[in-house]
Amino acid sequence: MKILVTGASGFLGRAVVERLLAHGEFEIRCFVRPSSDLTGLDEVRARHPRARLEYMVGNLASSDDAHRAVDGIEMIFHLAAGMRGLPASIFVDSVVASKCLCDAVRNRLRRIVLLSSLGVYGTSALGTDHLIEEGTKLDSQPEKRNVYFQAKIWQERLFRALAAEGRVDLVVVRPGVLYGKGNPSQGFPSRVGIAIGNCLVMLGGTHTLPLSHVTNCAEAVVVAGLSPTASGRSYNVVDDDLPTGREYVKGYRQKVKKVPAIDLPFPLAMMLSELVEKYHARSHGQIPAVLTPYETSTMCKGHRFDNRNIKTLGWQQIVPTVEAMRETFEYLRASQNGHRR
Amino acid sequence: MHVQGLRRLATARIVAVCDREPLMAEQLAVRYRIPKTYSDFYDLLAIEKPDVVHIATPPQAHFSLAMDALDAGCHLLVEKPLGLDASEAARIMTQAESRGRKLTIGYTYYFDPAARMLRTLVAQGVVGDSVHLESFFGYNLKGAFGPSILADRDHWVRKLPGKLFHNLLDHLLNQVTEFLTDEKPLVQAHSWQNAAGSGDLPDELRVTVVGNNSSGDRTSAYATLSSHIRPAQHFLKYYGTKCIAHLDFDSSTITLDEPPSLPGVLGRLESPFVQGWQHIREGGRNVFRFARSDYHFFSGFHYLLSQFYDSIVNDQPVPISYREILRTATLVDEIVRQLGAPRTATQ
Whether residue B253 is found in the same domain as residue B276? yes
Q: What is the Cα–Cα distance from B12 to B7, expressed in whole angstroms?
A: 8
The percent of residues above 90 in pLDDT, for chain B, comes to: 81
If asked whether residues B138 and B283 sit together in one domain, one would say yes
pLDDT of B343 above 60 = no
Q: How many Å apart are CA A30 and CA A41, to the nearest integer?
A: 9
HSE-up (13 A, CA, CB side) for residue A211: 26
Beta strands B253-257 and A27-32, pairing class: unpaired
B223 lies in the same domain as B209: yes
- What pLDDT score does A325 carry? 94
Pair (B40, B162) in one structural domain: no
The answer to whether B31 contacts A35, with C-beta atoms less than 8 Å apart, is no
On whether the CB atoms of residues A110 and A225 are closer than 8 A, the answer is no
Regarding whether B311 and B293 lie in a shared domain, the answer is: no
Nearest CA in chain B to A84: B144
Stronger pLDDT, A187 or B295, i.e. the higher one: B295
Q: Touching check for A130 and chain B: CB below 8 Å?
A: no
Tens digits of per-residue pLDDT, B153-185? 888 999 999 999 999 999 999 989 999 999 899
B315-to-A315, B66, B319, B325 alpha-carbon distances in Å: 70, 20, 12, 20
Report which of B135, B63, B52, B88 is spatially closest to residue B318, judged by C-alpha positions: B52
Whether residue A6 contacts residue A77, with contact meaning beta carbons closer than 8 Å, is answered with: yes
Residue A200's CB is within 10 A of a number of other CB atoms, namely: 22
Taking the Cβ of residue A26 and every Cβ of chain B, the question of whether any pair is shorter than 8 Å is answered with no
Q: What is the CATH number of the domain that holds B263?
A: 3.30.360.10
Size (chain B), residues: 347
Residues B71 and B151 in one domain: no
Q: Are the beta carbons of A15 and A215 closer than 8 angstroms? A: yes
Contact call for residues A49 and A26 (beta carbons, < 8 A): no
What span, in angstroms and rounded, lies between the C-alpha atoms of A194 and A199? Answer: 8
Per DSSP bridges, beta strands A131-132 and A75-78 are unpaired
Mutate to test the interface with B, among A9, A35, A294 (most CBs of B within 10 A): A35
- B198 and B287 housed in the same domain: yes
From B199, which residue of chain A is nearest by alpha-carbon distance?
Answer: A35
| B158 falls within a domain | yes
CB B250 within 8 A of CB B299: no
Amino acid at B226: S
Please give the pLDDT value at position A188. 83
Q: Is B251 part of any domain? A: yes
Residues of chain A contacting B37 with CB distance shorter than 8 Å: none
- Model-level ipTM above the cut of 0.90: no
Alpha-carbon distances of B202 from A109, B147, B339, rounded to whole Å: 44, 15, 10
Nearest-CA neighbor of B327 among B62, B93, B66, B2? B93
Residue B344 has a pLDDT of 43
Cβ distance of A286 and B4 shorter than 8 Å = no
- Asked if B70 and B96 touch (Cβ cutoff 8 Å), the reply is yes
Q: Which of A59, A91, A150 sits opposite B24 (nearest CB)?
A: A91
Q: Is B138 helix (H, G, I), strand (E, B) or coil?
A: strand
> Is B22 an 8 Å CB contact of chain A?
no
Say yes or no: B263 and B307 in one domain. Answer: no
Rg, Å, chain B Cα set: 21
C-alpha to C-alpha distances, B345 to B84, B90, B160, nearest whole angstrom: 9, 16, 11
Q: Does A152 touch chain B (CB under 8 A)?
A: no
- Determine, yes or no, domain membership for B50: yes
Say if residue B137's pLDDT is above 60: yes
Average pLDDT (B188-207) is: 84
Query: Which of B297, B313, B336 lies at the terminal end of a domain, its last residue?
Result: B297
Domains contained in chain B, number: 2
Indicate yes or no: CB of B7 within 8 angstroms of CB of A284: yes
Does residue A8 sit in helix, strand or coil?
coil
pLDDT over 70 at B342, yes or no: no
Q: Are strands A261-264 and A199-203 parallel, antiparallel or unpaired?
A: parallel
B100 in contact with chain A, both atoms CB, cutoff 8 A:
no
Looking at the fold, whether B43 and B60 belong to one and the same domain comes out as yes
Does A88 fall in a domain? yes
- Contact yes or no for B29/B36 (Cβ under 8 A): yes
Chain A residues inside the 8 Å CB shell of B10 = none
Q: Which pLDDT score, from 0 to 100, does residue B345 have? A: 39
Span between the terminal Cα atoms of chain B, in Å = 29
How far is B333 from B319, CA to CA, in rounded Å? 23
Residue among B148, B198, B297, B305 with most chain A CBs within 10 A, to mutate = B148
> Looking at the domain assignment, is residue A228 inside a domain?
yes
Kindly state whether residue A338 falls inside one of the protein's structural domains. no
Low-confidence ranges of chain A (pLDDT < 70): 338-341
| Same-domain check for residues B175 and B264 | yes
- Calpha distance B60→B81 (Å, rounded): 10
Q: Are residues B181 and B41 in the same domain?
A: no
Nearest CA in chain B to A146: B31
Question: Cα(first)–Cα(last) distance of chain A, in Å?
Answer: 34
Nearest C-alpha neighbor of A44 from the set A20, A17, A24, A26: A17
Mean pLDDT to the nearest integer, B286-293: 93
Domain assignment present for A116: yes
Q: Which residues contact B61 (CB under 8 A, 6 or more apart)?
A: B55
Q: What is the distance between the alpha carbons of residues A58 and A80, in angstroms, rounded to a whole number? A: 12
Quick check: is A188 in a domain?
no
Question: Do residues A94 and A83 touch, judged by C-beta distance below 8 A?
Answer: no
CA distance, residue A158 to nearest chain B CA (Å): 11
**pLDDT-based confidence at residue B199 (cuts at 50, 70, 90):** low
Q: What is the pLDDT of residues B204-223, one digit of tens each?
A: 999 999 999 999 999 999 99
* All residues at 6 or more sequence positions from B149 whose CB lies less than 8 Å from its CB, including other chains: B141, B155, B157, B158, B164, B201
Query: Alpha-carbon distance B260 to A295, whole Å?
Result: 54
Tell me whether residue B104 is in a domain.
yes
| Chain B residues touching residue A57 (CB < 8 angstroms) | 153
Domain assignment of residue B251, given as a range = 113-297
**Alpha carbons A10 and B21: distance in angstroms, whole number:** 26
Asked if B296 reaches chain A (Cβ–Cβ under 8 Å), the answer is yes
What average pLDDT does chain B have? Answer: 92
Work out whether strand B52-55 and strand B75-78 pair parallel, antiparallel, or are unpaired: parallel
User: Quick one: B180 and B276 in the same domain?
Assistant: yes
Contact A209, A192 (CB under 8 A): yes
CATH classification at residue A19: 3.40.50.720
- Residue B330, burial from CB neighbour count under 10 angstroms (0-12, 13-18, 19+): buried
B199 and chain A in contact, CB less than 8 A: yes
Q: From the centroid of its chain, how far is CA B314?
A: 25
Chain A partners of B203 at a C-beta cutoff of 8 Å?
none
Question: Is residue B236 within 8 Å of residue B118, measured between CB atoms?
Answer: yes
- Count the domains in chain A: 1
A-to-B residue pairs, Cβ atoms closer than 8 angstroms: 65
How far, in Å, CA of A48 to CA of B3, rounded?
A: 51
pLDDT at A34: 87
Estimate to the nearest angstrom the gap between the alpha carbon of A162 and the chain centroid. 22
Residue A233 — φ and ψ, nearest 5°?
A: -115, 165
DSSP state of B271: H
**CATH code assigned at B78:** 3.40.50.720
Q: What does the alpha-carbon distance between residue A302 and residue A315 come to, in Å, rounded to a whole number? A: 25
B345: in domain? no
**Where in the sequence is the domain holding A116, given as residue range(s)?**
3-180+210-239+304-319
Whether B112 and B171 have beta carbons less than 8 Å apart is answered as no
